[in-house]
Structure 1
Amino acid sequence: MDGVTVIDHPLVQHKLTIMRKKQTSTASFRQLLREISTLLCYEVTRNLEITTERIETPLTEMDAPVLEGKKLVFASILRAGNGLLEGMLDLVPAARVAHVGLYRDERTLEPVEYYFKAPDHMADRLVIVVDPMLATANSAILAVERLKQQGASNLRFLCLLAAPEGLERFRHAHPDVQVFTASIDSHLNEKGYIVPGLGDAGDRMYGTK
């Protein structure tokens, strides 16, 4: 699908398989999510712009590569997005963080916003929106809309799993936002869950139902 990158690194796929297993414990699921998010972050930031600065090594001076521009923003769609956020901050600890609080109305499957907080100068930053699941895409579409309202114009969306239906809706709503995912699964069921999927990521992270 145009504008969608599937991250098929063997370590990503192996860890994802363990996370899918229903017998995987809450503690193991949480740890695996942190590990896999670091690997996903490596891929989604692969083509960041760089410049050089003059430094001195123990042997000589040199022009060395450094990231160009303002700090990245990782935008977490609460609550499950925080599971990806932690591992990404391990890799990019200086990144700024935005939080978009949304929950899904289980009757209509529509997102309801309850919290929003983002850094300043969003127009000057690359914003990577994170949520483990891109299912109906309702929450993802709304989250990106809110970030654009704050001035964000350079955005990417990162998830563990995506459903074809959600991908199509998201790309139609935000054709300028590239999607990175570890897997495009089969379909959505009648309750809006990804199949085969891994269940509710937030519940499996935090041991809730």
Structure 2
Amino acid sequence: MHIHNLTEQDSILNTFISEMRDVTIQKDSMRFRRNIERIGEILGYEISKVLNYKPSQIETPLGTCEMNVMDNDIVLCSILRAGVPLHNGLLTYFDNAQNAFISAYRQHHKKPDSFEIIVEYLACPNLENKTLILADPMLATGQSLVATFEALKPFGKPKEVHLACVIGAQEGIDYISKHFEKDTHLWIATVDPDLNEKGYIMPGLGDAGDLAFGEKLQH
């Protein structure tokens, strides 16, 4: 797997991530969502550097200009619900992309550190020979990304796969590296070293879905 950790080089991205982590700033849910969107825009720009381009003749008011324009048939898929702001940020740059949405959540067993990933809602166009960008803000254990990708397989085999994440744990990266093909690209804003006993990223930032949209209803 090709891993692109964007905070290996300092940039304005550091500011957005630090605000998302900060327990005082992250209480502003609108700013939290906007920071995820901005990170999505940055990830989209970086992904665009490795996509395919073709020459195109552009007519300006004063003449003709030849430019290389993107030549990828993109499907952008996000994991609900925390993936919605990240999806919006990526869609700002890939505005001609087709869109897919999938729900995946942890169903905990009696033991607090034991869970399985449940995939329910899924809406997806044909993926055959497309460029798939699979967006999930939090890459913790990596099980959600693997489960959702398995659920997408009946829709066709993509030509290439890009994973877009905000924060990940090294354990999760190691896990998905074993389950995705070697030519898969992981684009991630920053990597944290550990998971706690419940499988949450440390130091992380908390529950991204709750911070973006409010606490989940308890059944």
Could you state the TM-score of these two structures normalised by the residue count of structure 1?
Answer: 0.92
Give aligned pairs, total. Answer: 206
SS in 1 for 2:30: helix
Q: Which residue number corresponds to residue 17 of structure 1? A: 18
Q: Does 1:37 align with 2:40?
A: yes
Q: Aligned equivalents of 1:26 and 1:152: distance in 2?
A: 37
Task: Quote how far apart the aligned CAs of 1:123 are.
Answer: 1.7
Give me the CA root mean square deviation: 1.5
* Per-residue Cα deviation, 1:162-196 (whole angstroms, up to 9, x for no partner): 11111111110113322111111010000110000
What is the percentage of aligned positions where both structures have the same residue?
33
Pair 1:195-2:202 in alignment: yes
Answer yes or no: is the 8 Å Cα contact 1:127–1:152 preserved in 2: no
Gaps of 5+ in 2: none
How far did 1:34 drift? 1.3
The aligned counterpart of 2:123 is 117
* 1:1-209 paired onto structure 2 within 5 Å: 3-8=2-7, 9-24=10-25, 25-70=28-73, 72-107=74-109, 108-120=114-126, 122-153=127-158, 154-176=160-182, 177-209=184-216
Deviations 1:131-157 (A, max 9, x none): 001101111001112223321331111
| Cα deviation code 1:17-67 (max 9, x no counterpart) | 110011122121112111121111111222110101223212222332221
Using the alignment, how far apart are the partners of 2:133 and 2:43 within structure 1? 11
Task: Find the aligned partners of 1:109 and 1:43 in 2 and give their Cα distance.
Answer: 34
Deviations 1:64-109 (A, max 9, x none): 2221142x11110111111200111122211111111111113333
Q: Which runs of 5+ in 1 are unaligned?
A: none
Partner amino acid, structure 2, of 1:116: L
Give the 3-state SS of the residue equivalent to 1:48 in structure 2.
coil
CA contact (8 A) 1:110 1:139 kept: no
Task: Give the Å deviation of 1:111.
Answer: 0.7
- Which amino acid in 2 is paired with 1:207? G
Give the secondary-structure state (helix, strand or coil) at the position aligned to 2:206. Answer: coil
TM-score by length of 2: 0.88
